[in-house]
Amino acid sequence: MQGYIKLYREILQSPIWQDPPKLRLWLLCLMKANHKQAELLIENQVINLSAGQFLTGRLSLEAEYNRNIPKKYFVSGKTLWRWLKLLESKGAVSITSTNKYSIVTILNWDKYQRSDQPLSSNSSGINQQLATNNNDKNVNNDKQIYQTSKKHSNLTILDSLLNQNSIEKETQHD
């Protein structure tokens, strides 16, 4: 899976922000969700998923959530499922389950993740230029950093991005 998700700053005011394990689950849901319509074949059955939906089960959710984290932070599939049901009760997701899989739908996906959202007509030309050109520049910079640091850990990549941003800010102030 490649690409980006949009993360809005209003998450800072959300109760989930105060609970890192549940925040990790929410971010996993956002990253697993399809960005466009998709078809999956499960045991000779075609399943159509829309943008903002993903297919999961308790065991696969457990495996994905716990990937690359220390054992002391391991969370069982049963607990993750309870947390997912909590997200459903809070209106963040809806879950449609069968005896073999569940389809999780991120509610308001289009509102927050749609990539074709035009800038409002009230936006100035400067805002439009920044939204267009910097996005392309950032994608190219990210590709370059990723390609040159494939063999490094995520922390090394994060350090590179932070250093690059610091240099860019210093350049802008000069």
Q: What pLDDT was estimated at residue 111? A: 86
- Tokens 């993903």 sit at which residue? 54
What is the per-residue pLDDT across 49-59, written as a single tens digit (0 to 9) for each?
A: 999 999 999 99
Q: What pLDDT was estimated at residue 126? A: 37
Q: Which range is most confident: 29-43, 53-67, 124-138? A: 53-67
Say whether pLDDT at 66 is over 60.
yes
What is the mean predicted confidence (pLDDT) over 9-34? Answer: 94
To the nearest whole percent, how much of the chain has pLDDT over 90? 55
Say whether pLDDT at 47 is over 50.
yes
Q: In the chain, what are the domains?
A: 9-113 (1.10.10.10), 125-173 (no CATH)
CA pair distance 55, 4, nearest whole angstrom? 19
Phi, psi of 170 (to 5 degrees): -60, -40
Q: What pLDDT was estimated at residue 1? A: 60
Q: Who has greater pLDDT, 48 or 170?
A: 48
Measured CA to CA in angstroms, residue 79 lies from 22, 59, 84 at distances of 10, 11, 9
What is the mean predicted confidence (pLDDT) over 16-42? Answer: 94
* Long-range contacts at 37-46 (CB < 8 A, ≥ 24 apart): 42/100, 42/101, 43/100
CA pair distance 32, 64, nearest whole angstrom? 10
What is the per-residue pLDDT across 132-166, written as a single tens digit (0 to 9) for each?
A: 444 444 555 555 544 444 444 444 454 555 555 55
